[in-house]
Structure 1
Amino acid sequence: MLSSQPRRLRKFVLITIIAALSVPWLAQAEEVVTPGQLIGVKALSHPDWFKNSFLDLAEDVEEAAAQGKHVILIMEMEGCPYCYKMIQENFANAPYRDFIQEHFDVIALDTKGDRKVAVTAEMSMTEKEMAELYQVRFTPTLIFLDPDNRPVARITGYRHLDDFKLVLDYVQERAYTQQDFNQYALARRDADLYQFRAHPHIQDLDDLSQVEDTPLAILFEDGGCVACDALHDGHLADPHIRELLEGFTLVRLDTRSEAPLIDVRGKTTTPKAFAEALGIHYRPSIVFFDAGSEVTRIEGDLYRFHFGGFLEYVAGRHAESFPDSPFDYINAKAAELMAAGQDVFITDD
C-alpha cells in the first residue's frame, strides 16, 4: 500500500505557493525609481560684444593688436555653472565692462567642441584638441594672448570681481613684460585687507615633510586676500566640510612670509618661495598632497558640492580610479545619487 503522505505534501506545497504569491512584495515587480535631477546646470550665453571669430587666432591677435588690444580666450563647457557665473558677473554685468570692451577682444571656445581653430599659421586643431594643448582641466579657463599670439596670463576657475580686474590690469598695462603676476599683485594689493582667521583644523607646522599618515591640504592666503573671509565664513564653517577635513592635515601658509619652512620634499624654503614654486597666483588656493606628491588643487571659487567633492576625492584616494580630474569622480558620484532618485544641487543658489 502506498502511503498517503506524498499527496498531503503536494497539497501543502501548492497552498504555500499560492499564499506566497498573494504577498505584495513577492508578487509585484520591483518598483522603478524615478531618477533625480541635476540642479544648477546653466545654459551659456554671451554678450553681443564678444568677438564672432573665424577661429584664426593669428588673425584675431593681429586685429586686436592693431587696436591696442589683447585677446582673451574663454575655454568653457556647456552647462558649467562657473562659466555662466563668470560670463554674467565678470563680463556681461561687470562694473568694468566698458574697460574690457576697450582693451580686449573676447573669444569663447568649447572645450568639448569640434570646430576647427587655426592656433597658428602652421597648426590647426579642434576646440577640444586645443583644450588639451593648453592643458585645460577645469572650466572656465581664461588664456590671455599678447600681440605675438603667446599666452601671458591664465585664470583657472571663477574669480572674484576685484581679483579678475587685477589680472585685466596686469595684461592691459603689459606689466607681463617687466614682472610676473605675483610681483605685480604684491605691489597693488592692500597688505592689511585680510586678517588671518582661526580654524579648529588648521595646524601650525614648519616641516611639511613630516606629514605621512594623512593627505596634506595647504591653504595659501595672505593679507591682501579678497576672498579669504568668504571661504572661512562659508565652506570652512560648514559642518559637513569640517567633518571631511578631519581626514586631512590642514596647514595655512602666508604667501608673503619669509619664515623658514621645510617643504613636502624635505627642502628648506619659505612659504613665499614655496608658493611661487607651485605657481600659486590666487588667494585663497588649496593644494592637496599625498605621500609628498601633489594630487590636485583648488585655485578658484567652488560651490559647496564641488568643494566637498574635492576633499572626498583626495581623502578617499579616488585619483586611482579617476586620474584625469576630481570632476570625473564628482560627476560619477552625482550620477549614482541621481540613479538612486536623489536630486543633486551643484550650486549654492
Structure 2
Amino acid sequence: MEEIYKGEEEYKELELYNPDLETVSIGDKISLLMNTEKITKELDSKIKRVNYCVFGNGSSTRIIKNSKGLNLSEKGNSAYVYVSVVAEDNGITKSGSGFKVSNDFSLFDADTVAKDAVEDAVSKLNPVSIESKQYKVIIKNKAFASMLGAFTGIFSSDNVQKGVSKLKEKLGASIASSKVTLIDNPHMKNGMASSSFDAEGVPTKYKEIVKNGILTSYLYNLKTAKKDGVKSTGNASKGGYKGTLGISPSNFYMKEGETTFNELLESIDNGVLITSLSGLHSGLNSISGDFSLASEGFVISEGEISSSLKQITVSGNFFELLKEINLLGDDLNFGLSPVGAPSVLISNLNISAD
C-alpha cells in the first residue's frame, strides 16, 4: 500500500526556471539554427549534408497536494540545440552530431555545436580493422554514461528486494575499484533531473551511493524504505499523476578523476578508444551484468588516436568492469541524459572485429 506523506518543514530551494528563456524570439532561434547549419557546411568539404538542425524548448510545473496538508510546487524550463551531419570520403559515409542543453540561451554557441558535429563525423572516415582479442580500453565519457544509464536499475531497492539485482546483501561491500564513486545529486545546478522533492513529496538529497568502491546505500521510495526499516532517499518517481509509483535516480553520475583525456591516451601504448555504444536495450542483461554491444571507436597507438575502426563488438560484464577501472578522466559529461560519467580506462576488455 502506498503511503500518503505529510511532508517536511524545509525543502531545498533550487533555481530551475529561467524567465529569460521564455522571451527568446522565434527569429533568434531560427538565426541560431541557420548559423549552425552554415558553419557545419563551411568547416570541412567532406560534409555532404545536414540531416537535422533543430532547436527545442519547454517548461513544466510539478504540483503535489494531499489530504495531509502537503502542498508543493516546482517550475522549470530547458532548451536544446542539436545538429546531425553526414561526411563522405572515398565512398564511405559517416554521421556525427553536436548538441547543447541549457535554460540559458546565451550559452548556445553555433560554432561549438557545429565543430563538435563535424569533428565527430569526419574522424570516423576511412576506418580500419583490428584483431579480435583483449585490449586496454578507454571508454569515452558519453559512451560510458550510456552504459551506466542502462544499469541504474541495479541500485533500486525495489529490484534488490525482489531479488533481481546482484547488489542484494552487498551494502558495505566493495563492488567497484576504489577510484569509483557514484553520486545521485538532485540539487545539481542545470541538472536535467534536478528537483527539491520526489514523486511522493519527500525532500531530495545529495548522496554517494558508491563511495571509493564501497556500496553505501540503495535508492528508496517510502514503500521500500519502510520494508527495510530505513528512511526514503527521495527517489520515488512517476511518469505522470496517473503513473505507477517507482524508483529512479536523479542526476546520477560517476565522480570524475584528475587525469586529462590526453593523459589517459598517453598511458596506453596500444589499445582501443570506444566512443559510442549501441544495442543497449537488447545487448545487455541488467541482472547478470553481461553485455555484448556494437561499438564505434579508434585505434590507440603509442599514446595517440590513430585510425578510426570499422564496427566492432565490445563484450564483458558490468560488475567486473567496475572493478577493472584503473583511471578516471576529468571530463565528466552528461550528454542528453541525466546520467553522466567521465572517460574511464579499463585494464582488459574483449573486442571482436566484424
TM-score, reference length from structure 2: 0.24
Q: Which has the larger radius of gyration?
A: 1
Q: 1 or 2, which has the higher helix percentage?
A: 1
Higher normalized strand content (fraction of residues): 2
TM-score by length of 1: 0.25
